[in-house]
Amino acid sequence: MSTRQTSRITAVVIVVLLAVIAALGAGIVTAHLGASTLASVKAGGAVFVGIAGLGTAIATFLFSPPPPSSSSSSFAADPAVSRPQASPHPSCRADGPREETMTA
């Protein structure tokens, strides 16, 4: 497993754990302030969804793969690899078009 993939998994785990802690805290605070059990559960759920969604969006932004560059291709970056050059059209040659004679 690559380091990039390991850091992505770690970021998701941390985000979910923080969301759970924040949701429990919100539920406890709303229950302590005298809200009903259903209201406390709703508040905890809303906080969990909000924190997990925002944290996942931030982690996706931070750990997104870099955009491909034109020089990242191994074929283009390797100077040892030679590409065959197409011969130019006869009328575009530097010495001009060749006179071709037809033989019978």
Candidates 18, 14, 28; CA nearest to 48 is 18
**Residue 36 lies inside a defined structural domain of this protein:** yes
**Residue 96 lies inside a defined structural domain of this protein:** no
**Residue 88 lies inside a defined structural domain of this protein:** no
Q: What range does the domain containing 54 cover? A: 3-64
**Residue 86 lies inside a defined structural domain of this protein:** no
Q: Tens-of-pLDDT digits for all 104 residues of the chain?
A: 788 888 889 999 999 999 999 999 999 999 999 999 999 999 999 999 999 999 999 999 988 877 777 655 555 555 555 555 666 666 665 565 566 666 66
Q: How many domains does the chain have?
A: 1
**Residue 46 lies inside a defined structural domain of this protein:** yes
Its pTM surpasses 0.75: no
Give the CB-side neighbour count of residue 7, counting CA atoms within 13 A.
9
CA gap 26, 33 in Å, rounded: 11
**Residue 40 lies inside a defined structural domain of this protein:** yes
